[in-house]
Amino acid sequence: EDQVTQSPEALRLQEGESSSLNCSYTVSGLRGLFWYRQDPGKGPEFLFTLYSAGEEKEKERLKATLTKKESFLHITAPKPEDSATYLCAVQALDQAGTALIFGKGTTLSVSS
């Protein structure tokens, strides 16, 4: 069964304190791995799609990396506005219609 596990469930950082969020996945074949940011009361905001091991993508203070079994979302020198829930999702080769399988998310709180 295709599965996505994110850790930690919650992370508290001081402003400027860099850290990483983990997304472990089990799929029969990976079509793509997605990262989203979700603010309270809003829909998920698309961040990145990664396709193959070794691939990296960056956006402002965020960098996503991918291996054959997991992905990391690195947050460099975070600011309070980075506080949100970060969702990881996989798109499996055997998933009809290319829909996404989501993890439960990591809730990040950054204090000044």
**Site residues (vs another protein, CB under 8 A):** 31-32, 34, 36, 41-46, 49, 87, 89, 91, 96-105
Q: How far is the CB of 52 from another protein (least distance, A)?
A: 13
Q: Are strands 70-75 and 62-66 parallel, antiparallel or unpaired?
A: antiparallel
Q: How far is the CB of 15 from another protein (least distance, A)?
A: 26
Q: How far is the CB of 46 from another protein (least distance, A)?
A: 6
Q: Which residues of 74-89 are buried (b: 16+ CB within 10 A; e: fewer)?
A: ebeebeeebbbbbbbb
